[in-house]
Amino acid sequence: MTLTTDRNDLAPAADLLRLELEVHRDLVERELDVLGSAPDGSERVAALIREHEPLLPDGTVQLLIERLVARVAGLGPLQPLLEDELVTDILVNGDGSVWVERCGHVERTPVDVDEPTILHLIERIVGPLGLRADRASPLVDARLPDGSRVNAVVRPLAIDGPCLTIRRFAVRPHPLGAFCAGGVRHLLEWAITSRRNVLVSGGTGSGKTTLLNALAARIPSGERIITIEDAAELRLPGEHVVRLEARPANSEGIGEVRIRDLVRNALRMRPDRILIGEVRSGEALDLLQAMNTGHEGSLSTCHANSTADALRRLETMVLMSDLDLPLPAIREQIASSLDLIVQVARRPDGGRRVVAVGEVDEELDKVGRLRVRPLVSNDGLADLPERPARLLGVAPPDPSWVQR
């Protein structure tokens, strides 16, 4: 379904919009439920359209029905973009322009929305969640029923008008081979099987969550996995997966459940592995403690520009916890808990690839800092990890994986 078409039997776009608004007003006033439970909803909408324009071609009537369904039950002019499987991000700017990221490239769409429409869409998203977006609370994070993440900024913070950003939930799973090949893929598969603790790092939109999904798909079936996320995006094929989702405070500022609250609770749920969608703050300490207390093979992601930067950020996030720990103790905890850091990046052609894998050294350097040993060079495996598998009985990495 698209908002624009070149079929000869369709009226001009402005006339279609005017007719759509008139019929929508009638639906609101008289028969809004025809698009819900009524089995003949489409026929009754078509009848309303014919009341306004009896001679309208069938193709135009069908297009208007689709647009009215999107306006009443979906996200109006944005609904066709949400239904496009190639679109990963929908970006609505304050001037009403709508941009999308498709196949790794950002492009402008022919869709334009005015400020009242944007505000209406934001309210439709956040209202059922007990949230609000207004001058008193101009920033809001939410998610759609399919798991897509939503961020909205309204006036006065958004100077040019309200902005809406939708990070779509990836409908199609990406296999590990889509991110890396050869020895690198074999190494990562071995790391999951041998229960190594892995942190995926990268920039915004680099594919961290998608790679985390691909890695977690290699976890043997039957293991009890608990996933913890801000917005539930992970879809694991295992038989024993428990999904937990953090909750922001409501419009009265109460009811918040943080990531670290869920991590602490997960430890009481007898997990084999814990997966945190992303660590941003003090929950990093709870993750490290879980990794080091019988929950080997746990996974998470963080924002960082390199494997070395990921270690520095992890130190900083642990310092943000409510425990006043000395930095040397934090570094020792990281060195003993974390095994591998996998760096993923978006290439100029829009593809996402693993560009680096680093092994965290168990020994600090001479001045007490963490060290990371690179294992990947030129997209190929250059060296094998030295730390042993955390699961007994697993064969060591095969030297044939190394790129010669």
Cβ contacts of 225 within 8 Å, gap of 6 or more:
216, 219, 236, 238, 240, 241, 242, 271, 272, 273, 274, 275
Angstrom CA distances, 84 to 114, 204, 234, 336, stand at: 22, 21, 20, 44
Whole-model pTM: value is 0.76
Domain boundary, last residue among 109, 138, 167: 167
In a domain, 194, yes or no: yes
Same domain, 125 and 198: no
The residue behind tokens 């001009």 is: 12
pLDDT for the residue 84: 86
Neighbouring C-alpha atoms within 13 Å toward the C-beta of 205: 20
Same domain, 228 and 87: no
DSSP state of 185: H
Same domain, 202 and 322: yes
Q: Quick check: 1 pLDDT over 80? A: no
What the block records as the tokens of 157 is 């913070």
Q: Quick check: 152 pLDDT over 80? A: yes
Percent of the chain with pLDDT over 90: 46
In a domain, 341, yes or no: yes
Cβ contacts of 109 within 8 Å, gap of 6 or more:
81, 98, 99, 100
Average pLDDT, integer, range 286-299: 89
In a domain, 2, yes or no: no
Same domain, 110 and 64: no
pLDDT for the residue 347: 86
User: In 3D, which of 204, 106, 93, 179 has the Cα closest to residue 351?
Assistant: 179
Phi-psi region of 82 (alpha: psi -120 to 50; beta: other; left: phi over 0): alpha
DSSP 110-156: EEE--HHHHHHHHHHHHGGGT---SSSS-EEEEE-TTS-EEEEE-TT
Q: Quick check: 10 pLDDT over 50? A: no
First CA to last CA distance, the chain: 50
Could you tell me how far CA 3 lies from the centroid of its own chain? 26
Q: Tell me: the pLDDT tens digits for 243-266?
A: 998 887 776 778 889 998 999 999
In a domain, 4, yes or no: no
pLDDT for the residue 30: 61
pLDDT for the residue 171: 58
Average pLDDT, integer, range 313-322: 92
pLDDT for the residue 91: 96
Rounded CA gap, 397 and 129, in Å?
Answer: 47
Same domain, 53 and 105: no
Same domain, 88 and 40: no
**In CATH, what number is assigned to the domain containing residue 236?**
3.40.50.300
Same domain, 253 and 311: yes
In a domain, 8, yes or no: no
Average pLDDT, integer, range 317-346: 93
Average pLDDT, integer, range 399-403: 91
In a domain, 350, yes or no: yes
DSSP state of 37: T
Same domain, 156 and 193: no
Q: Tell me: the pLDDT tens digits for 57-93?
A: 888 888 877 777 666 667 878 888 888 888 989 999 9
Q: Quick check: 2 pLDDT over 60? A: no
Domain boundary, last residue among 133, 167, 201: 167
Average pLDDT, integer, range 329-334: 94
Same domain, 68 and 84: no
Say which range, 72-86, 139-153, 181-195, 345-359, has the weakest mean pLDDT: 72-86
**In CATH, what number is assigned to the domain containing residue 150?**
3.30.450.370
Same domain, 149 and 21: no
Domain boundary, last residue among 167, 195, 212: 167
Tell me how many domains the chain contains: 3
Average pLDDT, integer, range 201-229: 91
Q: Quick check: 205 pLDDT over 50? A: yes
pLDDT for the residue 92: 96
DSSP state of 29: I
pLDDT for the residue 3: 35
Q: Quick check: 32 pLDDT over 60? A: no
Q: Quick check: 337 pLDDT over 50? A: yes
Rounded CA gap, 378 and 164, in Å?
Answer: 38
Range of the domain at 156: 79-167
In a domain, 6, yes or no: no
Average pLDDT, the chain: 85
Same domain, 228 and 351: yes
Same domain, 86 and 202: no
pLDDT for the residue 234: 83
In a domain, 222, yes or no: yes
Cis status of the peptide bond prior to 156, with omega within 30 of 0: yes
User: For residue 404, what pLDDT band results from cuts at 50, 70 and 90?
Assistant: low
User: For residue 9, what pLDDT band results from cuts at 50, 70 and 90?
Assistant: very low
